[in-house]
Structure 1
Amino acid sequence: MVALMAILQATYGVYAYLDPSAFSELRGTELFSVGDSDWVAIYASRTLFVAFIIGFLLIRKEFKLLMWSALFGTVMPITDAWLAYQAGAESVVVYKHIATIVYLLITSFLLRFVRAEDCRV
């Protein structure tokens, strides 16, 4: 579940760099001006940072930190859902953000029971 989070974040980060306008529509907050695409690039850089940190913590088997990261990470999709809702995005976009919240909460809960010594490569 954690690896999927890192991969999705990295994918979103790259997609936001490659096509800021399409990415903003996917996230439910359409750009009003092409000049606003610099904000999408800022989002992309931070998303890639999150992906790299999560991937690094997973490789290091820092499951306790990953548990807290997943829990505290819910602030992002909560904000995304609220912004998409306020922007009048389609319901499916808002529901996608809500599904992300649920996914992070489940991941955080499951990580409570994982210990590094139980994971052998």
Structure 2
Amino acid sequence: MNTQAQRDTLAVGKKLVEFCKSNKVVDAINELYGKDIESREAFETPDMPAESRGIENALKKNKQWEETMEVHSSQIDGPYPLGDRFAVHFKYDATDKRTQKKWAMEEVGVYTVKDGKIVKEEFFYTM
């Protein structure tokens, strides 16, 4: 992988982290994601499949998160680049609006970049 592609990946990662820290995830998806984005979650839930494809599904997944979770605080660290990928560490203190269950959540997102767009996102966490 050439150095320019690595710099591009790091730049995309930095922008994603900035958007997430500013709670502008929809803007991040619209600006940084490829239209055929592949998304993989560690677990499938009744509300969300473990795998999805397409920017519309990425927006739908984010909307579902916003509608069901109240985030009290968050910490977002990274990006941590490697070639055409980068990782971001997320920590959330949140409450499920439906059950009122409070969660201390941590996950690692691994993102793959091609031609300046995120083409794959994978989330690693335990439930």
TM-score norm. by structure 2 comes to 0.35
More strand by share: 2
Structure number with larger C-alpha Rg: 1
